[in-house]
Copies of this chain bind each other. A is one copy, B any other.
Amino acid sequence: MKLYDCTSAPSPRRVRIFLAEKGLVIPTVQVNLRAGYQLSSAFRDINPDCTVPVLELDNGIRIADTIAICSFLEEHQQQPQLFGNSPEERAVVTEWERRSERNGFHAVTEAFRNSAPGLKGRALTGPVDYDQIPALAERGRARVLRFFQSMDARLSQHEFVAGPRFTIADITVFVTIDFAGRIKLAVSEELVHLRRWYDCVVARPSSKA
């Protein structure tokens, strides 16, 4: 296996943390997003979506989606189980992972890509150029603050995002919070439950990935 990666980008970081939690080491190929290498014809042959991460299997199959990669790796090496241990737990983990991606990760992405000077004309990833929409950047920021509040409420009642154990939902929320630093948003001091949880997750060795 081989992972197309970019150390500065949040999506492949979700996979890197997942790999670290599993204790898996996979060779990586760095794709320089700042230099626009994802839009080169060489990389389009690898992934027409022009995004990382991409996992290339030994049989040549390429998987170009963060969650598709992680669920494949979960089957490849089951322990520790990061998608849940039973049908009910897997449902709850999937629900919280998707809610966190939708309301958190995507909101930061919206705010970041619609405001960063270096991303003018590149408001969405992918092969097509779309103009930035300033109102969308503003809405994204409001949504991120709201997401932090809702996660604080959730974590006032549960040790981890999806319940009593660390799962892929925690990875998504953790990467989202760090990614929010790019739009200069941080978890405020009064969100004590979210901060308690963050301190616990950042202390895990996988957080360095």
Contacts and interface: CB of A to CB of B under 8 A. Distances in A.
Interface of A: 49, 57, 59, 61, 63-65, 67-69, 71-72, 75-76, 87-88, 90-92, 94-95, 98-99, 103, 124, 126, 128, 130-131, 133, 135-136, 139, 142-143, 146
Given A63-B92, A92-B63, A133 B135 contact: yes
User: What are the 4 A-B residue pairs with the smallest beta carbon separation, nearest first?
Assistant: A68-B94, A68-B95, A72-B91, A75-B87
A136 B87 CA distance: 37
A8 to B, nearest CB: 22
Contacts of A128: 146
Nearest to A128: B146
B75 A94 contact: no
Contact of A91 (B69, B87, B90, B91): B69
Number of copies: 2
Nearest to A65: B95
A87 B69 CA distance: 10
A153 to B, nearest CB: 9
Contacts of A90: 71-72, 75
B63 A95 contact: yes
Contacts of A64: 95, 99
Contact of A92 (B61, B95, B103): B61
A101 B136 CA distance: 20
Given A88-B61, A133-B133, A135-B135, A71 B94 contact: yes
